[in-house]
Amino acid sequence: MIGIAPEMNKARFYSMEVWGGATFDVATRFLNEDPWARPRILKKMLPDTPLQMLLRGQNLVGYRHYADDVVVAFVRHAADVGIDIFRVFDGLNDERNLETSIKAIKKCGKHAQLSICYSLTEPKMGGLVVQPRVLPQ
């Protein structure tokens, strides 16, 4: 990413999603890296391109709910290291799980981009099967 970053910066993208989701977990558990280094380095190399991340609402970048003060501190630090746009979702589409992070994002003067989750269930997975109707001609 570092090698191509200056050219990507010249492209004038609306934003580049560079962090969040599992990237934090992978950096710490598997790559033995500082997870905060990626946005910090990329912000220096992409000064004209807003950086975006995926944030799992109250779960942040983890797999369980975190206390409100942890959410606020995480968002503040992510903003400090270079995240400009936070794409926020909750796997249950429960808006209560978005409130704390959205307030923290706005307090940092950053952009909160809200998302909803949906999936299409394959018939073999036990979902509702809809048979197509043939209309008379």
User: Is this model's pTM higher than 0.75 or not?
Assistant: yes
Q: Under 8 Å CB-to-CB from 115, ≥6 apart: which residues?
A: 87, 88, 89
Residue by residue, pLDDT tens for the chain (137 residues) are: 889 999 999 999 999 999 998 899 899 999 999 999 999 999 999 999 999 999 999 999 998 999 999 999 999 999 999 999 999 999 889 999 999 999 999 999 999 999 988 777 666 655 555 455 555 55
Show the domains of the chain with their CATH numbers.
5-117 (3.20.20.70)
Alpha-helical segments (H) within 1-137: 5-10, 23-29, 37-45, 68-80, 99-107
